[in-house]
Amino acid sequence: MSHTAHIRSHRKPRRSATTNIAVRAGVAGGVLSMAAAGAASANAAETTQTLQLPTLTADLSTQVAQSAEATQQAAANYQLQAERDTAAANAAKQAKADLAVAKKKAEAKKKAQEAARKAAAEKAASRSSERTTLASTATTSASTSTSSSTATGSAAAVVSFVKAQIGKSYVLGATGPSAYDCSGLVGAAFKQVGISLPRVSQDQSTAGTQVSLSNLQAGDILYWGSAGSAYHVAVYVGDGMFVGAQNPSTGIVERPLSYDMPTGAVRVL
């Protein structure tokens, strides 16, 4: 026996081939298991990321789209408000211009009306002055002219007839004997001396020779309005007086020429 046989060897006991294979297989299996677990963990993580990323991307796209839409709507609102403000400003400007034009027209109309009233007043004053002059002239002529104060012949008969009708009624269209209108009285008076006159005032105002109001004679026909379109007639009876069927209120009356100055006169006799 060797002198070292009793000493335990420090070398590790040799493993059998089978044991080595088993160990290696275990190690390899463990490694494979760890690798598989790692792969599974990696796949799980990757799967998780793959599932989450589309969700995050969709939300972000929606938010971006909503933000863009909101921005576009705000811009449209601002533009619409700007257009409204511009339209309001233009409308206010136009209204101001229209008001200025309306004021100018109103002022021009007012001036025209004032001018028309002034002209009418001046014309009325002129006519009044003219009538006063004519009345004064006619009165003077009547007082100084023997022929105008004293009627003779047919003229006297006409004057006598119309004076006899004073106090009777005025009735439109009446020709006597109890009532007359203005031309009915004149026609009836001249009928007494055999003269047939036209029925209405317009025609009676041109039935004889036109004479001046300053040269009247008793028996002349007085008319108011223009010759050929007179609206009233009466008979001059001398001394600046006339007799006529005036209106329904007064009936047949005798009045001075100044009461209602006639426009003209015609002489039939």
Q: Where are the beta strands (DSSP E) in 110-220?
A: 169-170, 179-180, 209-211
Q: State pLDDT tens for residues 219-268.
A: 999 999 999 999 999 999 999 999 999 999 999 999 999 999 999 999 99
Q: Where are the beta strands (DSSP E) in 126-206?
A: 169-170, 179-180
Q: Is the pTM of this model over 0.75?
A: no
Task: Answer for the pair 233, 216: CB distance below 8 angstroms, yes or no.
Answer: no
Q: Domain spanning 145-267: which superfamily?
A: endopeptidase domain like (from Nostoc punctiforme) (3.90.1720.10)
Task: Answer for the pair 233, 158: CB distance below 8 angstroms, yes or no.
Answer: no
- The partner residues of 122 in beta bridges, in order of sequence, read none
Asked if omega into 177 is within 30° of 0 (cis), the reply is yes
- Say how far residue 81 (Cα) sits from the centre of its chain: 33
What residue spans define the domains of the chain? 145-267
Task: Answer for the pair 204, 221: CB distance below 8 angstroms, yes or no.
Answer: yes
Q: State pLDDT tens for residues 10-67.
A: 555 555 554 555 445 454 455 445 545 555 554 544 444 444 555 556 677 787 778 8
